[in-house]
Structure 1
Amino acid sequence: FEGVIDLISMRAIRGVGAKASESEVPAALQEQVNRYHEWLEESAAEGDDELTLKYLEGEPLTSDEVRRGLKLGIASGKLMPVLCGSAFNLNGLTALLDFIVGEFPSPADMPPVKGKNPQNGQEETRQPSDNEPLTAFVFKTMADPYVGKLTYFRVMSGVLRSDSHVWNANKERDERVGQIFFLRGKQQEPTPAVHAGDIGAIAKLQETSTGDTLTDRAKPIILPPIEFPAPVYSVAIRAKSKADEDRLGPALSRLAEEDPTFRYYRDPETGQTVISGMGESHLDVVIERMKRKFGTEVNIEELRIPYRETIRSKAQAQGKHKKQTGGRGQYGDCWIEIEPYPDGEFLFEDRIVGGVIPKQYIPAVEKGVREAMRRGVLAGYPVVNVKCAVYDGSYHTVDSSDQAFQIAGSLAFQNAAAKANMVLLEPILKVEIIVPEEFLGDVISDLNGKRGRVMGTESAGTGRQKIIALVPQAEMVRYAIDLRSITRGRGRFSTEFSHYDEVPAHIAQQIIERAKRERAEAEK
């Protein structure tokens, strides 16, 4: 990467800052550069009626006219500039900064911001002027190793001064403002005030987080929050040591506070700590920052799918627990009947007649059945959609107890489940995918290979299609990576839970065998 070509001045630029040098466009690139310059002129002309007329009459635009058209187009939101450069050797950096200074609109040229008055719910506006009431929008939060929590903000109107008090309109809390800083790369330059249009940072705000509005308490306003995309990729993590485990919770909390697209939770079913983000690279960066900033190291684990087990037929079985020791023994005996219960998770019925099992032991039988269902039968996953009735049994006046009948209930369920045609269920997700039309066929083919069922497609705007499908969650674990590969980074998707469905027999067998191996290893 040697440098960049400025399509406005039609000069090649190599190097950075004082060492940057300009030269003629290389002859090998001249034809391509001319073509791109013509496209740039066309885009610039669309920003101004006078320039549009001149362009349509076939007259070339001057460099100043191109700059004027670009500036107007960017300010109106019609144009989205794209510049290239190298982060490795910084080629193109000088051209980027010059373009930002010269062509980006001044805050004073922008329309007033709109927000809602929290006191009356009415929409209000703020002009980008120092004479307006204070309105500052918090767009980023970081954990700085030296000053602690660092809040980044942009003053939309008014002036935010050091050593003052501001009102957090979102949290309805007063915040004390200490020293305010301008940020120059890694350097923090103290400043007495930040004026309308400028960006600054404050250390150690107690209540403020990303998306909040800092304002004048007498004239509050809440600006619309940034709409962050929902995470699309998740992995499970486990602390490497006991010390790492103690630091893990606070580290994840700080990282989530800094990055609204990062989320974490502990899955109560699988017992795993799950982190979610925008892709594999995003989570790699999060894990690296966890180690560098918070001294917390983790291992990545395979994400466990919350499968379920259920029965497909009716069955009856006995559960009998009899144990005689030197003193008082244990005795519990019950017969239960189980059958599919599609209307709910679980229903327990007492059909005992004649007192063959005393009333006080019936709850113990139910507790034992529930415990057996929680542990699972096939692969250790919870059993659902079962109706269970206890209808017969026996007891001992001395040796029977709640514990004995709880064990008997658990044994009875295990015995009955073995005869009730048990199957494995998997979570099915409703997936909405938006892709360019040219990738539609490849994406649908990939979904079919993931056991997905395409429910339909519809237009999602010019040149884009929305695909709606039902796909097993087990097939979606790495879908963010797969979709990026298929669509060259131009596709996006969202998911939500739909329902549980039966796992195909050959896949279920693999899951069951893997669960047996894991149990055997855990018991060693």
Structure 2
Amino acid sequence: RDKLSHNAVMMQIPIGLEADHRGVIDLVEMKALIFEGENGEKISIEEIPADLLAEAEARREVMLDAVSMFSEELMEAMLDENVTTELIHEAVRRGVLTRELTPVFMGSAYKNRGVQPLLDAVVRYLPDPTQVENTAIDLDSDESMIVDNSPDSPLISLAFKLEVSPYGQLTYVRIYQGTLSKGDSMVNVRTGQKLKLGRLARMHADQMQDIEEAAAGDIVALFGVDCASGDTFTDGKINATMTSIHVPEPVIKLAIKPIDNKASANMAKALQRFTKEDPTFRAYLDEETNDTIIAGMGELHLEVYVERMKREFAAEVTTGAPQVAYRETIRNEIAFNYTHKKQTGGSGQYGKIQGVIMPNEEADFEFESKVTGGNVPSEYISAVEKGFKSCMARGEYVGYPVVNLKFRLEDGASHAVDSSDNAFQAAARGAFREFYLQGKPIALEPVMLVSVEGPTEFQGEILATLMQRRGMVVGTTEDAGFVRIDAEVPLSEMFGYATVIRSATQGKAEFTMEFARYGTAPAEVAEELREKWLEKKAAGSN
């Protein structure tokens, strides 16, 4: 009640504790349920033991007081001392459906005691699938349609989980509408592929039971079906798809590298399989750093997949933090005057440009021409723009992409024979290389909006972990014993944070992270990036 803020109400009390536990007292029926047999499968209903009767009556009064808040009929029956079990069940169901009541049941998972009354309560109090309105999208009209849960309607089913088994790919499917039988033909709505169902099974943990038919509401497993998580299957009589599963954006990224060519081939197979079976797992090649990046919902999530690569696919890989995608820009306006002149025997290359490069907060790249009098022919102005734009891919300061620049072409000159598109593109690139560093460039680092949620008692520890990472708190909210702290933290400082926050809060806090903006990197970070870039340039020129 205190920590989870739930209106918890005991529906049973135990008969005996720990090793002496043998049953429960049902506070609704006021009967003792004694569980016997190896798996608690035999239930004998008896009168309440005399030594527990007073406690049972007191607990029943507490339960009735809490439950009667959801039923006026029950409240009146309590005043008339005419309470029936039907009235109690109806009031509990109302409280559960409005999420304002949490009934608590007793039992022993180890001895399988108390399972039957718990399952009865699930059926009695929780909403059944027919009370939930599921919708699909009619692809012919592109409008939402209600799925009617009828086994006689055209088939609509959703593949929600894939698993690699010794028998091949195992696809878990929930049937929302219609009936699916062994040997039926199905259509994958996403790909349009038609396939025949060879085997249909119902899963009980790791046990498999072959079945001939399944209807709306069933969850079954299919074999040999090539699909991805979130695919919709129909019988071809209806062109509709279930709304896709919500997939949150990854919060943790990791660079991986195979140790040899064999591992590289196996790693590619593994990544293809993992991205197919788990939509929250992503893999891609970072074009800026050339690293293979895997991304997921947490460090443990990625650790599991790295371990699976090694165990299931014999792909030995090394892992490391990916390089952060820094950016760079200038602080001061630069006037440029550059002539590109090259003579190679025949017609040469000639292009002269003059203008200004300036900071621009409105867009990453902007180009305008103020040339008058035709000094730079109009057909070459687009070549100047193209040349400048090509320079944005890599700056001269730290070697990362350049952002927030505006180029203004004001004047120039051309040659009737030697000027060309290539000559003016080369002039733009030369002007950028020669004058860029005069604009006092700065390095920019990606800043993430980090939201950490945890118990209020750990607020100090959470703040400390953020401050140690150059975090700047932008907001704090408290509610019912929990605190949420929003802070802007550089991405380069966030690697390994999941482990740190877990140990600092006894595993009780969690965080989400999304890109916020690019901010100026500290001088020491910029200097380190500059040194690495100069070393890389020197190595490339040797």
TM-score by length of 2: 0.70
Which of residues 414, 425, 435 is equivalent to 2:454? 435
CA–CA separation in structure 2 for the residues paired with 1:496 and 1:200: 36
Paired residue for 2:494?
476
> Displacement, 1:219?
9.8
Paired residue for 1:10?
17
The question of whether the paired residues in 2 share the 8 Å contact of 1:317 and 1:412 is answered with yes
The answer to whether structure 1 residue 380 and structure 2 residue 391 are counterparts is no
The question of whether the paired residues in 2 share the 8 Å contact of 1:279 and 1:481 is answered with no
Equivalent residues in 2 for 1:405-484, closer than 5 Å: 405-459=424-478, 461-484=479-502
The question of whether the paired residues in 2 share the 8 Å contact of 1:350 and 1:389 is answered with yes
Could you give the per-residue CA deviations for residues 423-450 of structure 1, whole angstroms, max 9, x where no partner exists? 1112222222221111112212222222
Deviates more, 1:292-301 or 1:252-261: 292-301
Could you give the per-residue CA deviations for residues 237-276 of structure 1, whole angstroms, max 9, x where no partner exists? 2344455555555532321222233223334444433211
TM-score by length of 1: 0.72
SS of the residue corresponding to residue 251 of structure 1 reads helix
Q: Using a 3 Å threshold, how does the CA distance of structure 1 residues 219 and 10 change in structure 2: closer, same or farther?
A: farther
Could you give the per-residue CA deviations for residues 162-216 of structure 1, whole angstroms, max 9, x where no partner exists? 2234677899987643211244665644333457876531112345x44567678
> Displacement, 1:328?
4.1
Which of residues 171, 181, 201 is equivalent to 1:161? 181
The answer to whether structure 1 residue 307 and structure 2 residue 314 are counterparts is no
Extract unaligned runs of 5+ from structure 1.
Answer: 1-6, 14-19, 22-40, 54-67, 84-91
Could you give the per-residue CA deviations for residues 95-119 of structure 1, whole angstroms, max 9, x where no partner exists? 1766657744587555321223656
> Displacement, 1:376?
0.7
CA–CA separation in structure 2 for the residues paired with 1:502 and 1:405: 33
CA–CA separation in structure 1 for the residues paired with 2:145 and 2:348: 75
The answer to whether structure 1 residue 350 and structure 2 residue 360 are counterparts is no
The question of whether the paired residues in 1 share the 8 Å contact of 2:106 and 2:114 is answered with no
> Displacement, 1:380?
0.9
CA–CA separation in structure 1 for the residues paired with 2:421 and 2:331: 30
Paired residue for 1:510?
528
Could you give the per-residue CA deviations for residues 338-394 of structure 1, whole angstroms, max 9, x where no partner exists? 111222222222333444443333333222222222221111112122121233444
> Displacement, 1:491?
1.7
> Displacement, 1:151?
0.9
Paired residue for 2:386?
367
The answer to whether structure 1 residue 112 and structure 2 residue 112 are counterparts is no
Paired residue for 2:170?
150
Aligned-residue sequence identity (percent) comes to 34
Q: Using a 3 Å threshold, how does the CA distance of structure 1 residues 192 and 463 change in structure 2: closer, same or farther?
A: same
SS of the residue corresponding to residue 374 of structure 1 reads coil
CA–CA separation in structure 2 for the residues paired with 1:399 and 1:220: 62
CA–CA separation in structure 2 for the residues paired with 1:272 and 1:82: 52
Count of matched residue positions in the alignment of Structure 1 and Structure 2: 463
CA–CA separation in structure 1 for the residues paired with 2:274 and 2:105: 31
SS of the residue corresponding to residue 418 of structure 1 reads helix
> Counterpart amino acid of 2:297?
M
SS of the residue corresponding to residue 419 of structure 2 reads coil
CA–CA separation in structure 1 for the residues paired with 2:67 and 2:501: 40
The question of whether the paired residues in 1 share the 8 Å contact of 2:353 and 2:409 is answered with yes
CA-atom RMSD, angstroms?
Answer: 4.5
Equivalent residues in 2 for 1:49-64, closer than 5 Å: 49=64
Equivalent residues in 2 for 1:207-286, closer than 5 Å: 207=227, 209-211=228-230, 230-242=249-261, 244-245=263-264, 248-286=267-305
Could you give the per-residue CA deviations for residues 276-324 of structure 1, whole angstroms, max 9, x where no partner exists? 1222222121122234444544332431222221111111233333334
SS of the residue corresponding to residue 458 of structure 1 reads strand
SS of the residue corresponding to residue 438 of structure 2 reads coil
Paired residue for 2:506?
488
> Displacement, 1:466?
1.6
CA–CA separation in structure 1 for the residues paired with 2:468 and 2:524: 16
